[in-house]
Structure 1
Amino acid sequence: MDAVIQALGLNNTLVAQVFNFIMLLIFLRVVVYPHIVRILEERQNFIENNVAAAEEERKQAEALRQQYLDELQKAKNEAQEIIQKATKAGEDQAHEIIEAAKAEAARVKEAALQDITREKEKAVAELRDQVATLSILVASKVVSEKITADVQRGMIDEFIKEAGDLPC
């Protein structure tokens, strides 16, 4: 073998280094590589499991998010419905208040008209009495003692009745 090494122009150190390198590769292949391959496979399986778990958690989070969005939309719809009911109730109450105020105003107006009518009738009656009294005084001075007070009073009441039937 020395002759072959010499013929190729190689020295013993180089041959020993090549031999040691090949032995190292065999040793690594037999002893170290299986452990490294096993560790790499475990690492790959760990990463795949983490990715699968993360994907599952993402799906759960998305489902939970969708559930929360649905509940939020439901709450918004309920709030809108409550607002609409409150608005309608407010409008109804406003109408009731307005109608009550109108009825009260009509009642006050009717009472005022009745008061005015009573006062007018009272004033007319007082005016008739005053006219009658004045007429009696005037008639008594004119006629003196020829007509009695009762006769005068009857004549005045008849005159007022006729005058009262005339439009004012």
Structure 2
Amino acid sequence: MEALGINHTLLAQIINFVILLIFLRLVVYKPIVNILEQRQQYIANNVAAAEEERKQAEALRQQYLAEMQKAREEAQAIIQQATKAGEEKAQEIVEAARAEAQRIKESALEEIAREKEKAVAELRDQVASLSILVAQKIINQTITPEIQHSLVQEFIKETGDLPC
């Protein structure tokens, strides 16, 4: 083989190299490829899990936003309800105050009418008594209680027809 110009050492090195490649392919390459595939699968699983968690987080975020919107709407409804109830209560209070004022006014008018009637009756009695005293002095006679009473009743009849 030296005639061909091939060196035995070179040939041995090539054979050793091929044997080394076969050995590496059988012994080392498959475990390394398996480790790389496992690593790639692990990374793919982590990415998928992270994507799933991101989707769940987004779903929770949307749920939270929906609940917040619902809470705002409920709060707004409660505020409107309270405002309406307050307005109704205020209207009831105003109506009650008006009714009470009307009742007080009517009561006062009735009291005034009673006092007026009482004052007119007292005035009639006093006028009748004074008239009798004047008449007694003028006539200079003694008036018995029966005569006085009849004169008072007659006077009250006459003055009752007069407008006051």
Report the TM range for the smaller structure's normalisation. Answer: 0.7 to 0.9
In the alignment, structure 1 residue 104 sits paired with structure 2 residue 103: no
Q: CA-to-partner distance for each residue in 1:24-60, whole Å, 9 max, x for gaps?
A: 9624344212211221111011101110121012112
Distance (Å, rounded) in 2 between the aligned partners of 1:56 and 1:47: 14
Q: CA RMSD in A?
A: 3.3
Q: Which residue does the alignment assign to 2:71?
A: 75
CA distance in 2, matches of 1:58, 1:33: 37
Judged with a 3 Å threshold, the aligned counterparts in structure 2 of structure 1 residues 145 and 155 are, in CA distance, closer, same or farther, namely farther
Tell me the amino acid that sits aligned with residue 106 of structure 2.
E
Report the residue type matching 1:66 in the other structure.
Q
How far apart, CA to CA, are the structure 2 residues paired with 1:42 and 1:146?
145
Distance in 2 between the 1:138 and 1:84 partners?
79
**Which of 34, 37, 40 pairs up with 1:41?**
37
**1:120-144 deviation line (CA, Å, top 9, x unaligned):** 1101110110011011001111112
2:125 and 2:152 in contact (8 A); partners too: no
Q: Which moved more, 1:82-91 or 1:45-54?
A: 82-91
C-alpha distance in 1 between matches for 2:152 and 2:30:
148
Which amino acid in the other structure matches residue 94 of structure 1? Answer: A
Following the alignment from structure 2 to structure 1, what is the Cα–Cα distance between the partners of residues 35 and 87?
A: 76
1:152 CA drift (Å):
4.5
**2:159 is the counterpart of 1:160:** yes
Instruction: Give the Cα–Cα distance (whole angstroms) in 2 for the partners of residues 110 and 145 of structure 1.
Output: 49
* Residue 127 of structure 2: aligned partner: 131
Pairs within 5 Å for 1:47-66: 47-66=43-62
C-alpha distance in 1 between matches for 2:105 and 2:80: 37
- Among candidates 106, 116, 119, match of residue 115 of structure 2: 119
The gaps in structure 1 that reach 5 residues or longer are: 6-11
8 Å contact kept, 2:124–2:159: yes
Structure-2 separation of matches of 1:71 and 1:103: 47
Moved more, 39-48 or 54-63: 54-63
| Unaligned segments of structure 2, at least 5 residues | none
1:141 aligns with 2:140: no
- The count of aligned residue pairs is 157
Q: Counterpart in 2 of 1:8?
A: none
Identity across the alignment (%): 61
TM-score (norm 1): 0.74
